[in-house]
Amino acid sequence: MNFSVSALAAGFFFGVWGVYFLRRGKSQEHVPSVVIGVALIAYPYFIENVYLLWGIGAALMFVGYRLAKA
């Protein structure tokens, strides 16, 4: 696991949003939001590249936002 400031910030930022998506998905019984939330919480543990970390997180956030509006 990468312990640079950027990687730690990304893990914290996307983890917080992951908890938000998870809680909102559970309360609204919206399975895609739950899946996006779990993915946002878990994926920083497996990605070493900082740019890829931020890119995947941004993509998951975008997908979660688009699915929430649908």
- Contact assessment for residue 44 and residue 10, using Cβ atoms and an 8 Å cutoff: yes
- What pTM, to 2 d.p., does this model score? 0.89
Q: Give the Cα separation of 68 and 61 in Å (integer).
A: 10
- The gap from C-alpha 41 to its chain's centroid, in whole angstroms, comes to 5
Confidence of residue 11 (pLDDT cuts 50, 70, 90): very high
- Contacting residues for 46 by C-beta, under 8 A, at least 6 apart: none
**Could you tell me the residue ranges of all domains in the chain?**
5-69
Q: Give the Cα separation of 14 and 53 in Å (integer).
A: 10
pLDDT tens digits for range 31-62: 999 999 999 999 999 999 999 999 999 999 99
